[in-house]
Every structure is written in structure tokens, then in C-alpha cells.
């Protein structure tokens, strides 16, 4: 990876690349990128964990929820998951669907990582029928539901700062001995300037913040492929008001390696996960421009409560803390307790082509 980075940096203007170019290389290079390598990334043996991988509860509950929506709204039973990772969520969803629901279902996985596509096939086939594609562009337009969990936080971002009232872009360079470094340059990228004007972000003096230009294309691609239906996005992020808080002064760009957070993402290129918090207001705004109307935004624990996760708790007298029922109930509590992971996530539900009602979506 260092040799590849040295090549692209040395051939770039001023021998500097943007953070977006750096992140694209170290995460998504077809052979050297972190997400493309054949190594565990999710779970105990990997570098991070997601809420959809804590237990099968999440996937099974979403299957029941989607089935109820299809029944109430006559939405076609087509479920498209973008970035399915190991396939654990899909496996739980499909098990619940075929065990308890039984009606026809089309399950689509959009996955750019060859390694994860292989893991998904090993886990899901031949038990379940799935469709795998590398990108949304490979799909014919459909009606149904598009789901993603921690998708937008993994997209490449530019990094800017406000210094003496003016914006600079933080670029990445490399010394002759292969050491990566940051260098601040005058902000000339018109797309970033347009983002700042459209998003109406209030950026403080000496504040550092990530600019997610890649978000526009992802939202546009989702809208192009979804003729009519629902978009459910689970991720962590901030509103414009939250971005303005003094605690956000250093931005949110972070790395994760063996479940430890790394502040300097120039370390271990190609060996660590890199993530940022999502600009929620911008995601909603851009969605509306692409005919994806906001239905609701909730904390993930609130969303799970509203779609009936408490019904999944099993009453029992089993004193064995290692029993499957005990493990399942602990997983459910971890998803809804204020100290659990879900409190840091939000779920944004958007709709295209029809009007959802609360009774269509929530059991409360």
C-alpha cells in the first residue's frame, strides 16, 4: 500500500492528495484496500462491531417489520441491503422470513468487497435465494425497501479547517522515506465550497470538519434504482447544530484497529477501518432533492422499541446465564439500554412514491 500511495502522491499536483483520495485508496483499492482484503473485519476477530452483528435479533425483527409493512401498504417484498458485511444480518432476516412468514421474497445484496461477497455466499447459500451485485448501477430499478447499516460513515471524505476566518483543505503528502503527513492548502475545490453554501454549516474558528462529497452520488444512485418504496438508513452522525458544538472542534475522522480507536488515520494504511460521523441534515436535504422525502428520524433504540423489540424478550426461569434464551435477552437489552450501542445510532426513514402513515410503520 505504501508503494501505491507513493506513486499516486508523487504524480499528483504539488505532490499532495485529498483525504478523500487517500481514504478511497486505503479502503477501496481493488487489491490493497482494507475492505477488499481477505481478512476478518467485523466481530471479535476483526476491528469493529456493528449493531446488526450483535445478535440475530436485529435481522429477525426487521424481517417481521418489513413483512407487516408489505401487508399494510402492498409494497412489493423486495429487500435490498447495501453493504451486508459478513451476511449475518441477511441470514437472520432470511431465517425469520422463511421460518415464520413464508411469502415470496426477493433479497438483494449490494456489496463492493469480493471477500464479503464470498462470506455471504458461504453463509447464505444454498439455504436461501439471494441476488448479489457489486454496485447499485448493476441493478434494474425496483420497488421495495433499501436498507443500510453503517454505509455512509464509510464513504471517503475531504477534510477542511477554518483558519483566520478562511477555509483550508487538509491534504496528504509523503516524505521520501515513506512517512505520510498532513499539509494545509488554500481551499479551491468548488464542490466543497458548494457543499458549505448548501449545507449552511456553521464552522467555528480552528474547527476541523469532514466534507462528504461522495454522499451525493450514493443518494442519487439509491433514488435512481428505487422506483417506489422506503429507504432505511442506520448510522451515527450529527445535525448541523451538533456539529457546531465545541466538542466537535477536531472533527470525527477516526480509525479502528483490533477494536481500538486510532485518532491518526494516516497510521497503518490499508490495515485499519476508517470512519466519520454522517452529516444528517445534509443527507436528509439531498434526499429530498432526489425525491426521497423524510418520514422520520429516530435514535436507533427508539426505532427498535417502536417496531416491537420488547415483544422479542422471552420470559423464562432459566438461571443459566449462558443459555441461548439468556444470551438473546441480553442482546435485546444491549440494543435498547441508554448505555448500549443503539443510543449512538440514528435511523432515518425516507419514502419515495407514496405516503407512509405511522400505523403502517410502528406497532405502538
pLDDT of the chain, 364 residues: tens digit per residue: 899 999 999 999 899 999 999 999 999 998 899 888 877 656 566 655 666 566 788 999 999 999 999 999 999 999 999 999 999 999 999 999 999 999 999 999 999 999 999 999 999 998 999 999 999 999 999 999 999 999 999 999 999 999 999 999 999 999 999 999 999 999 999 999 999 999 999 999 999 999 999 999 999 999 999 999 999 999 999 999 999 999 999 999 999 888 788 999 999 999 999 999 999 999 999 999 999 999 999 999 999 989 988 887 765 556 666 667 677 677 777 777 776 666 789 999 999 998 898 888 887 5
Dihedrals phi, psi of 203, to nearest 5 degrees: -105, 130
Quote the pTM value: 0.92
Q: What is the DSSP string of 74-141?
A: ----EEEEE--TTSHHHHHHHHHIIIII-S--EEEEE---HHHHHHHHHHHTTTS--EEESSGGGSPP
Residue 321 confidence (pLDDT): 65
State the pLDDT at residue 40.
64
Domain locations along the chain = 34-156+213-236+277-361
Grid cell locating 77: 417484498
Assign a CATH topology to domain 34-156+213-236+277-361: Rossmann fold (3.40.50)
Amino acid at each position: 500500500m505504501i508503494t501505491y500511495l507513493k506513486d499516486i502522491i508523487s504524480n499528483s499536483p504539488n505532490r499532495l492528495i485529498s483525504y478523500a483520495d487517500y481514504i478511497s485508496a486505503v479502503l477501496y483499492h481493488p487489491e490493497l484496500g482494507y475492505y477488499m482484503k481477505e481478512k476478518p473485519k467485523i466481530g471479535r476477530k476483526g476491528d469493529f462491531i456493528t449493531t446488526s452483528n450483535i445478535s440475530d435479533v436485529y435481522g429477525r425483527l426487521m424481517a417481521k417489520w418489513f413483512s407487516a409493512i408489505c401487508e399494510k401498504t402492498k409494497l412489493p417484498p423486495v429487500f435490498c441491503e447495501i453493504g451486508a458485511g459478513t451476511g449475518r444480518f441477511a441470514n437472520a432476516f432470511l431465517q425469520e422470513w422463511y421460518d415464520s412468514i413464508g411469502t415470496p421474497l426477493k433479497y438483494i445484496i449490494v456489496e463492493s468487497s469480493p471477500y464479503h461477497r464470498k462470506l455471504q455466499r458461504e453463509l447464505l447459500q444454498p439455504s436461501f435465494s439471494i441476488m448479489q451485485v457489486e454496485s447499485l448501477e448493476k441493478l434494474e430499478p425496483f420497488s421495495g425497501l433499501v436498507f443500510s447499516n453503517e454505509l455512509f460513515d464509510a464513504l471517503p471524505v475531504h477534510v477542511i479547517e477554518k483558519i483566520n476566518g478562511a477555509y483550508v483543505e487538509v491534504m496528504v503528502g509523503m516524505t521520501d522515506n515513506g512517512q505520510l503527513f498532513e499539509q494545509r492548502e488554500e481551499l479551491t475545490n468548488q464542490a466543497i465550497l458548494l457543499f458549505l453554501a448548501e449545507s449552511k454549516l456553521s464552522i467555528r474558528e480552528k474547527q476541523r470538519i469532514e466534507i462528504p462529497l461522495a454522499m451525493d452520488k450514493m443518494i442519487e444512485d439509491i433514488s435512481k434504482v428505487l422506483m417506489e418504496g422506503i429507504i432505511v438508513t442506520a448510522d451515527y452522525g450529527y445535525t448541523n447544530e451538533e456539529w457546531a458544538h465545541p466538542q466537535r472542534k477536531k472533527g470525527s475522522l477516526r480509525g479502528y484497529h483490533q477494536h481500538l480507536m486510532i485518532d491518526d488515520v494516516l497510521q497503518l494504511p490499508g490495515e485499519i477501518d476508517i470512519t466519520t460521523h454522517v452529516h444528517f441534515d445534509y443527507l436528509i436535504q439531498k434526499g429530498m432533492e432526489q425525491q426521497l422525502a423524510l418520514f422520520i428520524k429516530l435514535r436507533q433504540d427508539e426505532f427498535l422499541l417502536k417496531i416491537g423489540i420488547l415483544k422479542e424478550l422471552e420470559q423464562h426461569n432459566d438461571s443459566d446465564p449462558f443459555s441461548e434464551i439468556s444470551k438473546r435477552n441480553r442482546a435485546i437489552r444491549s440494543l435498547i439500554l441508554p448505555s448500549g450501542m443503539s443510543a449512538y445510532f440514528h435511523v432515518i426513514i425516507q419514502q419515495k412514491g407514496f405516503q407512509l402513515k405511522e400505523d403502517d410503520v410502528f406497532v405502538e
